[in-house]
């Protein structure tokens, strides 16, 4: 008798587990369901319906993409599961439960399944969002390789603009890359990189023709969780045609639309020509929140947010930059001088196939990242 009482006590505990944990259905609940069903055919029927609801809820995909379900659709199944769990508990406790109640619960469970399936998204819904990428934990944006990212005309006649909004989650120590085509190997350097150094100076790094030389115009900035608009303009012949002491002002650095720094020099920027460059540097993608080493490893990592990132094949004026920053100039992708551009201001259908505004390029978000929905 004592052994039988213990078995009954344990069974009642497991039944309570069904009801109280109907939202999670732990392994102990699954073991208990078999015991209950052997003891009562009514509970067997209710339990089968409960399992069907649970399986549908757990195996369905939730999100904003066509074919997925809204998160709130889980409530449809959860409510029906709670009713079934309550009936199972009542029956096991010996409470009077009519067959009509059981039949109605089964019918309602089937209706819940039908209603849940009817809530499937028939089209992709995109939401305003911010893209957070944790480069410190392996996250990065891979923009692929393209001459559009690094070739901006013939030597001595190059012109381009890199422009974006960014926000750091934390300020990196040392050098933290934001967007980079920059490569270096034993003092040989090619490409460019928007980056922050020592957590308080945001800048653009330009490789030069001569080894070991760099141009790095920038300005003090060390605030985490604050958006800043950065634009860097380059022109071999002088940005805005400007000269100083007979030399062209080859680069200008703007922060929030204000000119903060410039480079006056007669040397020429050295584009990263990937596999075809003079130094035979490897063919590696442009990436964000890290910088590639020539062996394919990533270094100089950072973490934060990026949006409205554009590369232009012309040197933009200060008025152009302010209009882009303020949104009075809307970038559509049809601009003749737009090399590439990504808005990154709303969720996307496929994180591994994010088409740019021109339709010519594709980005993929890798590793640790998150789309943070804006209310």
Q: 136-192, pLDDT tens digit by residue?
A: 999 999 999 999 999 998 888 899 999 999 999 999 999 999 999 998 877 778 889
- Rounded to an integer, the average pLDDT of 8-14 is 39
Q: 20-50, pLDDT tens digit by residue?
A: 444 443 334 444 444 554 568 999 999 999 9
Residue 331 has phi, psi (to 5 degrees) of -85, 120
- Rounded to an integer, the average pLDDT of 319-329 is 98
Q: 105-115, pLDDT tens digit by residue?
A: 999 999 999 99
Q: Please give the share of the chain, as a percent, with pLDDT higher than 90.
A: 73
- Rounded to an integer, the average pLDDT of 230-247 is 94
Q: In angstroms, rounded to a whole number, what is the distance separating the alpha carbons of residues 193 and 61?
A: 39
Written as one string, the DSSP assignment of 287-344 is EESSEE-TTS-EES--EEEEEEEEEESS---HHHHHHHHHTSS---S--TTEEEEE--
Domains of the chain (ranges; CATH) run: 2-118 (no CATH), 129-373 (2.60.120.200)
- Rounded to an integer, the average pLDDT of 226-252 is 95
Is the pLDDT at 279 greater than 60? The verdict is: no
Is the pLDDT at 338 greater than 70? The verdict is: yes
Q: What is the pLDDT of residue 5?
A: 41
* Cβ count near 52 (within 10 Å): 16
Q: 348-361, pLDDT tens digit by residue?
A: 999 999 999 999 99
Is the pLDDT at 239 greater than 90? The verdict is: yes
CA 347 to centroid of chain Cα atoms: 8
Q: In angstroms, rounded to a whole number, what is the distance separating the alpha carbons of residues 350 and 365?
A: 9
Q: In angstroms, rounded to a whole number, what is the distance separating the alpha carbons of residues 217 and 203?
A: 6
The C-alpha angle 348, 352, 356, rounded to 5 degrees, equals 65
pTM listed for this prediction: 0.74
Q: Which residues neighbour 112 within 8 Å (Cβ) at sequence distance 6 or greater? A: 53, 76, 77, 79, 80
Distances (CA, A) of 225 to 167, 169, 257, 306, 370: 6, 5, 19, 12, 15
Angle between helices 27-39 and 41-59 (to 10 degrees): 150
Residue 247 has phi, psi (to 5 degrees) of -115, 145
Is the pLDDT at 89 greater than 90? The verdict is: yes
Q: In angstroms, rounded to a whole number, what is the distance separating the alpha carbons of residues 375 and 279?
A: 49
Q: In angstroms, rounded to a whole number, what is the distance separating the alpha carbons of residues 339 and 332?
A: 12
- Rounded to an integer, the average pLDDT of 308-323 is 99
Q: Mean pLDDT of all residues in the chain? A: 87
């Amino acid at each position: 008798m004592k052994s039988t009482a213990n078995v009954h006590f344990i069974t009642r505990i497991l039944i309570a587990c069904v009801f109280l944990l109907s939202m999670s259905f732990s392994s102990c609940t699954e073991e208990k369901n078999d015991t209950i069903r052997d003891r009562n055919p009514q509970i067997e029927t209710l339990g089968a319906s409960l399992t069907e609801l649970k399986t549908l809820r757990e195996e369905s995909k939730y999100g904003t993409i066509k074919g997925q379900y809204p998160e709130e659709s889980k409530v449809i199944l959860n409510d029906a599961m709670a009713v079934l769990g309550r009936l199972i508990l009542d029956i096991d406790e010996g409470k009077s439960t009519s067959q009509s109640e059981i039949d109605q619960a089964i019918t309602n469970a089937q209706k819940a399944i039908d209603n849940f399936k009817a809530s499937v998204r028939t089209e992709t819904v995109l939401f305003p969002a911010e893209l957070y990428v944790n480069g410190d934990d392996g996250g990065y944006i891979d923009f692929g390789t393209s001459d559009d990212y690094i070739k901006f005309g013939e030597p001595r006649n190059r012109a381009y603009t890199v422009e974006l909004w960014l926000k750091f989650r934390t300020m990196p120590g040392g050098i933290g890359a934001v967007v980079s085509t920059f490569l270096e190997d034993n003092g040989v350097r090619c490409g460019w990189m928007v980056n922050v150094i020592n957590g308080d100076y945001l800048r653009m790094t330009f490789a030069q023709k001569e080894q070991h030389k760099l141009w790095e115009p920038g300005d003090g900035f060390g605030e985490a969780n604050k958006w800043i608009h950065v634009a860097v303009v380059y022109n071999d012949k002088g940005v805005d045609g400007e000269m100083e002491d007979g030399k062209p002002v080859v680069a200008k650095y703007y922060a929030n639309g204000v000119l903060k720094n410039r480079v006056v020099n007669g040397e020429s920027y050295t584009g990263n020509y990937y596999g075809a460059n003079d130094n035979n540097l490897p063919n590696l993608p442009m990436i964000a929140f890290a910088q590639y080493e020539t062996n394919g490893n990533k270094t100089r990592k950072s973490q934060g947010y990026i949006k409205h990132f554009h590369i232009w094949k012309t040197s933009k004026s200060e008025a152009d930059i302010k209009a882009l920053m303020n949104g009075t100039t809307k970038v559509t992708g049809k601009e003749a001088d737009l090399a590439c551009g990504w808005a990154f201001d709303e969720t996307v259908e496929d994180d591994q196939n994010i088409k740019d505004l021109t339709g010519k390029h594709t980005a993929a978000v890798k590793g640790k990242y998150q789309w943070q929905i804006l209310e």
